Structure formats: C-alpha cells, structure tokens
Amino acid sequence: MKLYDYWRSSAAYRVRIALNLKEIAYEHICVHLVKDGGQQHSDFYRSKNPQGLVPALELDTGDVLTQSMAIMEYLDETVPTPALLPGNALHRQKIRSLAQIISADIHPVNNLRILQYLSKEFDANDEDKANWYRTWIYKGFDALEARLGEDAFCVGDQPTLADICLVPQVYNALRFQCDMTTYPKITRINETCLKLDAFAKAVPENQPDAV
C-alpha cells in the first residue's frame, strides 16, 4: 500500500491518522506541493490522481483511492476495528456532521491552491491571506465549539472521523496564529488526541519529507 502524501497537507494528515489507528502499514511517497512548480501537476502523479490533489492511496491491487473522506470510509469498511464511525445511525450522523464542518466548510476555502489563487488573481499578500484563512477558521470553529460536549473526544470516549479531521485543522489554526482562547473544548480534545501514538506519529513534523 502506497500513500502519496505531503507532510503539511491537512487531507493527507487525516489519512495518516486513520491508517495509524487501524495499524495499517504503508509506504510513504512524497508529492511536494511547492517544489518543481508543484509535483502534484506532474504527468506521473496525474496518472494516479487526475485531480492533482493529495492524498492518494494506492492499494496492492493497483487501485488508487482519492479524496481523504472517501479513503477513510473505505478503510473503515475494510478494516472495521477500531471503528471511525461507531454507534447507531444518529451517533454516526453527528460524527459526520462535525467532520464536515471542517472537511467541507473550513478546509476547502483555505486550501493551498485557493491561497495561491488569491495571490495570483487578486494580488493578495501574506497578511491578506492570513486574514482570509483566520476568517474561515473562526467561523467554522465557532460552530464546532458550540456543538461539542464534555466527552473525551468529539463524540464519545474514542477517537472518530470527527477527531481525525479536527487535529489537522487545529494544527493549521496554530500555524496561522489563530487565537484559540475561545475554543477550550476544541483545544482540550486536540490535546487528548495528540497523546495517542496514532495521532502523534501523523504530526507533519514527524514525516520523512518534513522540512
């Protein structure tokens, strides 16, 4: 199994956590999103993922899986323990809902290609892009904080798909110097997750291509 990965990609970070939780071994293949004009644009990588985004997970069969959320649901269906979507239908809906606040509402508008587009088409400088980034972090985190309870993790007493999405987004929030003082639940859950080996091993700075 090969994971086409970039150390600071939030979506790839999610899949690394999921693979670690499932204790699935994989080969790391770096697709550097900045070097050489972005290695994701190469003919080789486009042959793996025509969308030119990371991550992509190549199975031993040669099948290539794309889109982090779909990859993680595939992993949950094929390696069901520990479950990333445990519980009954209502429980799983809450997990998916929290995960999608991040994966569907915060992350897409703050993706690298969006920030690059702001620079190219609107002459946005680093401060402009940081303000843009923080705006969407705060809007999403306001809603997320309001939805969280006092459980050890986002939903219940074990990490789920929601926590897997949360931790990379908090990493990005801290990277862009977001004020986290109004998000005590998010902060607590993030700290709890990072005490687990599966999360700690997936941290960007612990990846072989980290610079």
Same domain, 72 and 102: no
User: Do 106 and 188 lie in a common domain?
Assistant: yes
Helix residue ranges per DSSP H, 22-87 = 43-48, 68-78
In whole angstroms, what is the distance from residue 133 CA to residue 194 CA? Answer: 23
Look up residue 5 and give its DSSP letter.
E
Range of the domain at 120: 89-199
| DSSP single-letter state for residue 206 | G
Same domain, 73 and 95: no
Boundary of a domain, candidates 82, 112, 141? 82
29 and 95 belong to one structural domain: no
Same domain, yes or no: 192 and 166: yes
> Is residue 205 one of the residues assigned to a domain?
no
Which DSSP string do the residues of 100-119 spell out, in sequence order? Answer: HIIIIIITGGGSHHHHHHHH
Question: Is 18 contained in some domain?
Answer: yes
Flag whether 162 is in a domain. yes
pTM of the model: 0.95
H/E element, 64: strand 64-66
Q: How many domains does the chain have?
A: 2
How many contiguous H segments (helices) and E segments (strands) does the chain have? 9, 4
Give the residue from 13, 48, 82 where a domain finishes.
82
Examine the fold and report which residue of 53, 82, 111 is the final residue of a domain before the chain moves on.
82
Within 10 angstroms of residue 61's Cβ, the number of other Cβ atoms is: 7
Residues 104 and 179 in one domain: yes
**pLDDT tens readout for residues 54-81:** 999 999 999 999 999 999 999 999 999 9
- pLDDT tens for 158-201 read 999 999 999 999 999 999 999 999 999 999 999 999 999 999 99
Within 8 A by CB and 6+ apart from 63, the residues are none
Q: How confident is the model at residue 112 (pLDDT cuts 50, 70, 90)?
A: confident
